[in-house]
Amino acid sequence: MPKLSTRLQRFRKGSPLSFRLLAWIILFSSVFTLIASGIQIYSDYRKDLSQIDNRMKVVESGYASSLARSLWALDQKLLQTQMEGILSLPDIVHLRLKIEPDSELVMGDIDRGAQTRSHSFSLVHQGDEMFKLGELTVTADLGRVYEEMERKVGIILATQFLKTFFVSILIILIFQHFVTRHLSSMADYARDFSLTNLSRPLVLDRPDTPSNRNDELGRVTEAINQMRERLNDDLERQERDAAEIHKFSKAIEQSPSSVLICDRQWRIEFANQKFTQLTGYDAKSILGNHPGSLGEGNVENRESRHLWQSIRLQVQRVGVWQGEVNSVRKNGERFWEQLIVTPIKDASGQATGYLILGEDISIRKRYEQQLLRQANYDILTGLPNRMLALDRLKLALAQARRENTLVGVMFLDLDNFKHINDTLGHDAGDNLLVEAARRISSCLRGTSTVARLGGDEFLVILPGLNGADASYQVADRILKTFSPPYILNGQEVFVTTSIGIAIFPTDSDNSGTLLQHADAAMYQAKHKGKSSYAHFAPEMTEVSHERLQMESRMRRALELNEFELNFQPIVHTDSGNLCSVEALLRWNNPTMGTVMPDRFIPLAEETGLIIPIGEWVLEEACKTAVSWKEITGRDVGISVNVSPRQFRDPGFTDIVMRALSNSGLAANQLELEITERLILDNSIETAEILRQLDRAGIRLSVDDFGTGYSALSYLKSYPFDTLKIDKSFVQDVMKEPEDASLVRAIINMAHSLGLRVIAEGVEEEAQTHFLKQEGCDFSQGYFYSRPLPARDFESWLKTNQRVQI
């Protein structure tokens, strides 16, 4: 409780309401008191007057007969005594007795100016007859009554005023205690109220009881505190929003991607630092411009106009545009960027602007082009490789079908290449291949294709022929260009070639069969004597007899239990500790011996036998992996190769899930290795199967990366966990700087896509140092262990020092 002095001070200074209240209470109560007192005084006055009247009536009733008797008896003395008796009565000051007929007796005095009241009555003798003897007029002085009234007025006014004053003070003090001081606190609170002290609630100096909480002050306090809390919340939200906005704007400003924000009319409103870095345009200088108008002359550029038109349409229809764009920097230099364009929508879903995110992918593009070259061209000769040659062959066949022409397919093999390679060395062999490629190419027209299929095998495709003769002429020309000697290691060497020819559509209308026929014809040519050509004839298919035999053996191999799995460890590159194991298939045939997968898997694929074989591999691999837990005391993951044919089989996912449930292997311990070629078909089914497997928790890896069309951008679209760099790159990292830079780029890019990397074919320690330095996650190769049969691999697991158990 504040001290009395403080309360008084507050009362005087800070409580005008109390003062005004006091004044009004005094005024009203005074008026009221005055009216009440007036009524009271008036009624007392009336009472006094009626007392006097009564007294005079009492005189009449008490003295009239005795006075009449005294008059009748003419007893003057008695009359006087009686009149003196009347005069002694209070307030009676004057008596006038008129005696009949005409005498008068007066007693007492009346002060001049005095207020009086008189009462007259007749004095009558009551005998047989009634005689009026006289009349007495009694006069009373009202002076005492008036004095009394004045005194009363004084007393009443004084007491009423004091009473009113003190009651008012009391009321005020009570009011002040219960109301106004709290109002003052509220006023002080409201005066001090600011956004900086929102956490201090308003607390009134009174007990916190339910009744206090529910009265008006309690409710106002609660309302103020609720308002404070709301403000507090709003402020906090505002601060949070501001912090978020600040964070986002910083993130956008410092984003590693370039960011452009455009308004609804595609006018640039904002560009971040990265955009300036990437394009050379200062943000301020491009505000208001269309993003497609940047770059000299771009406004006029039809290509750019079309591009932005289709971007605009797709964003409107689909809600996003994504693609790779060849953009121009301010200095005119071109670069590749990956753009994502999305609308910025308001709460009602209306586009209020557009967000354009850009990422410089020039390096990736360069490597993709390099990889593309690598995948499609033979590095040594610069000629298309097998893959590109097959593509071209398919194109040529399609064109020939449309134009009704023939296509010549030639298979070439250098007759004594192996001997030259062995005797003169690999460099001489390489030089020979380069020169042979040049000579073959020199015999062909622009539309023809010459490709190196591998080793010393070349393929020539002659599209748009009118007859088979044209292909014989080309074959003759080629044989002739081979006549001059080759200079290898300073020596003249004579090299010949054998050519097999198959013609579309007479020999086959299918590219694969055409190649087989050309191959068969080439063997025929070789048998005929070298340096010749042969056109395919059906008898030559004998060659495929071997294939048929293999196929029928393979059909029985599963029943006869001829398949076996070998296991090769995959280790952590930095520690050499075991990470997981790859299962590799072997076929132990009594006649053919151990057949390696490269020999029989393509045939298994072609014949569809890969599906039951693949199922057996999955079952066996999962079961074996579970059995290792007893040896190592921990889960060991297993990688299983899946061929495209197997993958596209409708029952594939069921087969995988069954293998997991039969063996009890956890899904995340199984990794499926899928070749890069499979992703290239880019079909919806492929994507869906991959996603199904991913959802089931199975790990997915891209195998033989670098041998197909290594488009890293495709990898983004699929849920891969791991990328396996093909051994052909890894094996030469210490010899070929180009391979080293390619491996480095693949590792970096895979990491940037969130993929882990396995290097295959690690054979030397130096390679492990290189891979460690480049941050390659895992390694696999003969350096760690060759693929081993199950029992040998178990011993490896038990004895290998590097295994962390």
Q: Rank residues 102 and 598 by Cβ distance to ligand C2E and give the closer one.
A: 598
Buried b (16+ CB within 10 A) or exposed e, 345-370: eeeeeeeebbbbbbbbbeebbebbee
CB of 338 to ligand C2E, least distance (A): 30
CB of 568 to ligand C2E, least distance (A): 6
CB 353 within 8 A of CB 261: yes
Q: Rank residues 738 and 763 by Cβ distance to ligand C2E and give the closer one.
A: 763
Q: Rank residues 95 and 584 by Cβ distance to ligand C2E and give the closer one.
A: 584
Q: Which residue is nearest to ligand C2E (CB)?
A: 781
Name the phi and psi angles at 118, rounded to 5. -115, 155
Strands (E), 7-115: 92-99, 103-108
Structure tokens at 776: 């390659």
Q: Rank residues 134 and 614 by Cβ distance to ligand C2E and give the closer one.
A: 614
CB 708 within 8 A of CB 680: yes
- Identify the DSSP state of 377: B
CB of 773 to ligand C2E, least distance (A): 19
Q: Rank residues 37 and 768 by Cβ distance to ligand C2E and give the closer one.
A: 768
Name the phi and psi angles at 797, rounded to 5. -60, -40
CB of 761 to ligand C2E, least distance (A): 4
Q: Rank residues 295 and 569 by Cβ distance to ligand C2E and give the closer one.
A: 569
- Which residues partner with 589 through β-bridges? 593
Q: Rank residues 343 and 706 by Cβ distance to ligand C2E and give the closer one.
A: 706
The footprint of ligand C2E (CB under 6 A) covers 568, 584-585, 596-598, 601, 614, 617, 641-643, 673, 703-704, 727, 760-763, 780-782, 787
> What is the residue type of 202?
L
Q: Rank residues 187 and 596 by Cβ distance to ligand C2E and give the closer one.
A: 596
CB of 626 to ligand C2E, least distance (A): 18
Q: Rank residues 79 and 584 by Cβ distance to ligand C2E and give the closer one.
A: 584
d(CA 144, CA 153): 14
Structure tokens at 125: 């003798």
CB 601 within 8 A of CB 584: no
User: What Å distances lie between residue 173 and 21, 169, 170, 206, CA to CA?
Assistant: 11, 6, 5, 15
CB of 764 to ligand C2E, least distance (A): 9
| Angle 409-475-378 from CA coordinates, rounded to 5° | 60
CB of 646 to ligand C2E, least distance (A): 6
Name the phi and psi angles at 257, rounded to 5. -95, 150
Name the phi and psi angles at 289, rounded to 5. -85, 160
Q: Rank residues 141 and 649 by Cβ distance to ligand C2E and give the closer one.
A: 649
Residue partners of 285: CB distance under 8 A and separation at least 6: none
CB of 429 to ligand C2E, least distance (A): 19
CB of 480 to ligand C2E, least distance (A): 39
Q: Rank residues 381 and 701 by Cβ distance to ligand C2E and give the closer one.
A: 701
CB 497 within 8 A of CB 478: yes
CB of 557 to ligand C2E, least distance (A): 13
Strands (E), 213-267: 258-263
CB of 784 to ligand C2E, least distance (A): 8
Selection from 334, 336, 322, 332 nearest residue 366 by Cα:
336
d(CA 321, CA 317): 10
Residue written as tokens 């030639």?
A: 410
Residue partners of 328: CB distance under 8 A and separation at least 6: 294, 295, 296, 298, 334, 335
d(CA 275, CA 291): 11
Structure tokens at 252: 């956008």
H helices within 443-588, ranges in order? Answer: 468-481, 511-528, 543-557
Q: Rank residues 415 and 673 by Cβ distance to ligand C2E and give the closer one.
A: 673
Q: Read out DSSP for 333-376?
A: -EEEEEEEEEEEE-TTS-EEEEEEEEEE-HHHHHHHHHHHHHHH
CB of 751 to ligand C2E, least distance (A): 21
Q: Rank residues 292 and 781 by Cβ distance to ligand C2E and give the closer one.
A: 781
- Identify the DSSP state of 574: T
CB of 710 to ligand C2E, least distance (A): 15
